[in-house]
Structure 1
């Protein structure tokens, strides 16, 4: 089952007080620094982390719950929560939808000490829910309220489960029985297969500059560590480099990407029109050239993930590369969903020109992140 994202909701997370929006094939968000564009991206990462079992670690790297909670005014009548929700639709059946929601709160304390099996700034899962909607009917596949967990099996029987979950663990990641809970398994695997690409390292120690093991690699890893193998898979497994040659020539006219047949390791280099007799290895390439090749690997791989998110892909790129990058992104959006966060007006305009998509302006409004033209009901009106 292939699932596409059709909706996203976040509440109480950093600058996201409460926001709900539809998700299209290509989604482009632009705005000034500090308005909260990256928080939209991070909230999606947290949804994936709920599926991979890394939610607690991911929030810990952000400074724990104290740092992740919405910093603006909140009602004292409601518990302090981060609520995240994603809506997914079966590609082959429009009326077959799934909705996963997780509510994360603070660890109870007494006299400054944490109560229960959790550290004081850890996220604590308060509620989880997975709904299935079909033919205008909705029923829960998974419901969790603190330590109480129920799930609907493939036999149609709803049962209470006694699995040993810590408060910082998610049921979505830990309830792994694809035969008994096939739909939960499909949703979990769909979220796990998302890819987030940001901040490709290009320094001397970057994995992009090193050869990698020669293992057939249909998809680029999030850090780009298997880039050479991804390029080798396109060149020597698929055996058709027409698209690869085209996007390289579009960005670097007259240049050729050299990908020798792998042995134990895979490697690549570039031959430029100014130096036709010399191949520059990956360790010699400029930061911008190397980063662009990594984006090519992410967006032109043999098998694209169902959802790709790019955070400020223009970083370190020369302005002349932004129009070719827009064409590369538009090409990828014909094969998968793409979510772009950028503060480059040049890239945003190029994406609009190449794809016809409307760029959404992210703004800061009364201390919260908002999007121009978004209604409070979660639809774009302009």
Structure 2
């Protein structure tokens, strides 16, 4: 699965932006430029697949907080529109998914601050020509049946429900189920809690874990799966050694619970438990579990991963990102020039500088079609 392009309209500081994406996508820029809004727009695409689209906007403060504050022209509908073009590299199939959400109409169903899903479209291109697979307007859904005809779906969608989730869960539409599954594997890591009650600092149930949960709660199981199921921790050991000046992980074989500790070179006879580690140490280990897991997500997004890390840890972090990019498409938002330079050097990519242009988020040097100026030749 490969996210080839994305676009966003009227979402927070994203007035209207479209951009092509590559294997590693690196974003830098000043505070307030809108880097995190680009990241969040893709989180909303995943939320549409998970059935949590309206819930995620509600967590952000509701539709009034999420909508572009610059106003719209009289002939334009006041809607947030997000699109994603996704290529299944195994089959060559290209999926184009779009979702529009807006405000409740007077006396309409739903709640006043709730994001009301107005429209969805899913087209599919198998190499001949694109054709419509699903179209939703209001609560009405049309879907392509086994005979290739658009037919009414028997259920009306509520204003908070996405058709992508409903049909992807119905078992009758394999292409929609495939897309929903692919997007559902995306992972977004926006920092990790490092306080005393953080799930990173607690043992977890000993269940083999192919990838890290977004809150990091299964970190001990992820590390144990690498050590005792795959029995290959070469990349992990190297990253920990480089980041902590010769330290090593201790990962006992789990019984009922999985756990881990850190052996520091100055105290070789002692295993430091997660509750004893610094914020930077525990967050680095969470990033290691995210980037070096048994089965890496097809798409990994990191928002300011350098937070709380000592500068000496950044080269090791960049190395893990480069390693992950062999299997995963990676999206990194950072304030750190040192991290951006290290990623650029290891991955052979140039950082995209996020700026404000006429009050809206834009990428410096990007054309209106979403390509960078130096890619047009």
SS at match of 1:159: strand
Give the deviation of 1:239 after TM superposition. 1.1
Q: Does the alignment pair 1:310 with 2:302?
A: yes
Contact 1:154 1:179 in 2 (8 A): no
The residue that corresponds to 2:142 in the other structure is: 150
The residue that corresponds to 1:106 in the other structure is: 103
Counterpart CA distance in 2 for 1:180 and 1:263 is 40
SS at match of 1:9: strand
Contact 2:140 2:157 in 1 (8 A): no
Comparing 12-21 with 165-174, greater Cα deviation is found at: 165-174
The residue that corresponds to 2:354 in the other structure is: 362
Give the deviation of 1:135 after TM superposition. 2.2
Q: Does the alignment pair 1:246 with 2:243?
A: no
The residue that corresponds to 1:166 in the other structure is: 158
The residue that corresponds to 2:190 in the other structure is: 198
The residue that corresponds to 2:221 in the other structure is: 229
The residue that corresponds to 1:112 in the other structure is: none
Flag structure 2 segments of 5+ consecutive residues without an equivalent: none
SS at match of 2:232: coil
The residue that corresponds to 2:178 in the other structure is: 186
Give the deviation of 1:195 after TM superposition. 0.5
Give the deviation of 1:319 after TM superposition. 0.7
Comparing 236-245 with 282-291, greater Cα deviation is found at: 236-245
Flag structure 1 segments of 5+ consecutive residues without an equivalent: 110-114
Counterpart CA distance in 1 for 2:273 and 2:82 is 43
Q: Does the alignment pair 1:123 with 2:115?
A: yes
* CA deviations over 1:216-275 (Å, ceiling 9, x no partner): 001000000000000000000111222221111121232110001101000000001111
> Structure 2 matches for 1:279-294, cutoff 5 A?
279-294=271-286
Counterpart CA distance in 2 for 1:126 and 1:41 is 22
Q: Does the alignment pair 1:275 with 2:267?
A: yes
Counterpart CA distance in 2 for 1:275 and 1:124 is 57
Contact 1:154 1:180 in 2 (8 A): no
Contact 2:141 2:157 in 1 (8 A): no
Counterpart CA distance in 1 for 2:91 and 2:174 is 17
Change (3 A) 1:182 1:314: same
Give the deviation of 1:158 after TM superposition. 2.1
Counterpart CA distance in 2 for 1:118 and 1:178 is 24
What stretches of structure 1 move > 6 A for 4+ residues in a row? none
Counterpart CA distance in 2 for 1:302 and 1:332 is 11
> Structure 2 matches for 1:335-346, cutoff 5 A?
335-346=327-338
Counterpart CA distance in 1 for 2:182 and 2:170 is 13
Counterpart CA distance in 1 for 2:149 and 2:169 is 15
Q: Does the alignment pair 1:34 with 2:32?
A: yes
Counterpart CA distance in 2 for 1:154 and 1:345 is 52
The residue that corresponds to 1:59 in the other structure is: 57
Give the deviation of 1:198 after TM superposition. 1.0
The structure 2 residue matched to 1:376, chosen from 339, 343, 368, is 368
Give the deviation of 1:354 after TM superposition. 1.2
Counterpart CA distance in 2 for 1:256 and 1:31 is 35
Counterpart CA distance in 2 for 1:274 and 1:81 is 58
Change (3 A) 1:159 1:177: farther
The residue that corresponds to 1:90 in the other structure is: 88
Counterpart CA distance in 2 for 1:171 and 1:179 is 13
Counterpart CA distance in 1 for 2:266 and 2:2 is 44
Q: Does the alignment pair 1:325 with 2:317?
A: yes
The residue that corresponds to 1:44 in the other structure is: 42
TM-score by length of 1: 0.96
Comparing 70-79 with 192-201, greater Cα deviation is found at: 70-79
SS at match of 1:221: coil
The residue that corresponds to 1:72 in the other structure is: 70
Root-mean-square deviation (CA), in Å? 1.1
- Equivalent pairs, count: 374
Counterpart CA distance in 1 for 2:323 and 2:232 is 17
* CA deviations over 1:81-110 (Å, ceiling 9, x no partner): 00000001111244x20000001111002x
Contact 2:141 2:156 in 1 (8 A): no
Counterpart CA distance in 2 for 1:245 and 1:154 is 51
Give the deviation of 1:177 after TM superposition. 5.3
